Amino acid sequence: MPLALPDLQAAFAAHLAGADRPDLAAGVLGDAIPSAARLRVYRHHVQESLASALAATFPTVQAVVGSDFFRALARAFVAENLPRQPVLAEYGEDFPAFVAGYEPARGLPYLADVARLDWALNAAFHASTDERLAAADLAALPADRLLSLRLVLASGTALVSSAHPLDRIWAASQPGAPEGTVDLDAAGAHLLVLRRPDDAAFVVLSPPEARFVDGIALGKTLEEAAAWVDGEFDLTAGFARLLNLGAFAALQ
Amino acid sequence: MISAAGIGLRSPHLAEIEIDRPAAGFLEIHAENYLASSPALAAVERLRADYAFSVHAVGLSLGSCDGLDEEHLARVAALVKRLEPALVSDHLSWSTFGGRYFNDLLPLPYSEEALAVVVDNVQRLQDALGRRVAVENPSCYLGFAQSTLSEPAFLSELARRSGCALLLDVNNIAVTAHNLRLEARDWLSLPGEAIVQYHLAGHAVNDADGEPILIDDHGSRVKDGVWALFGDVVRRFGPRPTLIEWDTDLPALDVLLDEAARADRITSTAGGLHAARAA
């Protein structure tokens, strides 16, 4: 009996995910190219094309580990995490967590943070360019109103904090980067990822600036976020810098 | 001369096309690459003033027995509304099942059961977009013993029942015919009035257990046999807007434009023969 279409698609889906489905192969015509080899063409394409999609979204991870290691890592991820929808730019949200638990990468404790940075840059690249808050929008506000504002981070803006020198690891992994070594024991970094008009990029924040942005993201007012910062923080200068970067969404 | 053949718009060529505005019949984009906002989408919106666009979807999964993904359909519909392309198309295949997306154009058995599923899905798509869509013949690496219709018969019946148009990928005919031991001329029995666009691309020859198998990788120039078949297709059905597709190992833009010019020369010669025969 041939498989009904829902059963055939279920069996094919299981085959693509790595299962052995003789019931599916039995219904596939084979000749000098046996049915099993024909089915393998599809499984191979699914795995390799999704691994390539991950390489496009996580270029820095690939640059750090090399393409052979990356392929193995990506295939292992794909086997357990097929996409849930067809937009590949939105595929891979769970990849950084997978990298963190990937046994062969245990010797690279910063690799999951590199993946988080790549994901944030990818998300920012695909974020909308809705209007940003500008200094002029606030000029008319009295100081007490300004301090009690609860601002929203602009679309694509994300803080990536790492215990490792993530900015230097990223820079050393770019195409054409000068030869050299990164001191992996150097201090950690706080990177603010932003959608710019034609690309996505990040800037390095000081620890107080990062803590301030964190406070804003948690829904604190400017005054509360500033008070939440431990240590030296010049609210006027820090806020002006973030405003100029276009880090905040326009007021609703 | 304005070239009538179009080319796939791929992001590494975007800046060059924006600056040079080369002559091309139209530009094609993959819907799924432009559903999320991006600088590339902004560039496409700027290019709309100078080029006709074709929106080619790869993820609607018209052959899925569980119906179309309404969320994805709504995003594609929003893009189509925004770009108002000359043509919207997807493939005779399926790519999602049970909430998972496989990123491949998976084969269908050509049965009455599958035909009813595809007709329903195409009608749902046409209703959602408020326009006719074109369905493309896929490249196949296997056939099912349970198929009772040939691929051309299946496509003809799909066009008749759903009112959809057909997109004839000449390279896919060559790939499928070789891999499934069929005759490429069988596709010349399609209803020509339903065909609205041709596709051309390169394919690779891989090894499957010691036997050559053709892989539709869009990674090289169009093969000579495919150019010859394209001539047959144009002589049979007449000229149509023709797309040069190239997705892997993308060459310089000039190479794509050169392939488009070659398609135009064949269209001009073979199309003349078609018109003479029709007169």
Phi and psi at A223, nearest 5°, equal -65, -45
In a domain, B24, yes or no: yes
Q: Are A93 and A159 in the same domain?
A: no
In a domain, A68, yes or no: yes
In a domain, A173, yes or no: yes
A35-44, A169-178, A203-212, B98-107: which has the minimum mean pLDDT? A169-178
Q: Do the chains contact at A85 and B71, CB–CB below 8 Å?
A: yes
In a domain, B1, yes or no: no
* Per-residue pLDDT reduced to its tens digit, B90-113: 999 999 999 999 999 999 999 999
Instruction: Tell me the C-alpha distance between B83 and B40, whole Å.
Output: 13
Nearest to A84 among B37, B38, B99 (CB): B99
The residues facing A192 across adjacent strands are: A159, A203
* B contacts of A87 (beta carbons < 8 Å): 32, 35-36, 59, 72, 75
* Per-residue pLDDT reduced to its tens digit, B141-163: 999 999 999 999 999 999 999 99
* Per-residue pLDDT reduced to its tens digit, B201-220: 999 999 998 999 999 999 99
Q: Are A102 and A53 in the same domain?
A: yes
Domain count, chain B: 1
Which of B146, B207, B211 should be substituted to probe chain A, the one whose Cβ sees the most A Cβ atoms within 10 Å?
B146
In a domain, A118, yes or no: no
**Residue range B106-124: average pLDDT?**
98
Domain count, chain A: 2
ipTM for the assembly: 0.95
* A contacts of B69 (beta carbons < 8 Å): 85-86
Q: What percent of chain A has pLDDT over 70?
A: 100
In a domain, B76, yes or no: yes
* Per-residue pLDDT reduced to its tens digit, A42-71: 999 999 999 999 999 999 999 999 999 999
Q: Are A134 and A246 in the same domain?
A: yes
Q: Is A12 on the interface with B (CB under 8 A)?
A: yes
Q: Is B219 on the interface with A (CB under 8 A)?
A: no
Q: Do the chains contact at A125 and B181, CB–CB below 8 Å?
A: no
In a domain, A14, yes or no: yes
Q: Are A150 and A210 in the same domain?
A: yes
* Per-residue pLDDT reduced to its tens digit, B238-271: 999 999 999 999 999 999 999 999 999 999 998 8
Domain span including residue B95: 6-278
Q: Are A54 and A83 in the same domain?
A: yes
Q: Which residue from A minimizes the CA distance to B37?
A: A126
Stated pTM of the model? 0.94
Domain span including residue A55: 1-108
Specify whether the CB–CB gap between B41 and B82 falls below 8 A: no
Instruction: Tell me the C-alpha distance between B240 and B251, whole Å.
Output: 25
Q: What percent of chain B has pLDDT over 90?
A: 92
Helix (H/G/I), strand (E/B), else coil: B193: helix
Q: Output the CA–CA distances (angstroms, integers) from residue A251 to A134, A136, A203, in the order listed.
A: 10, 12, 23
Domain end among A78, A108, A138:
A108
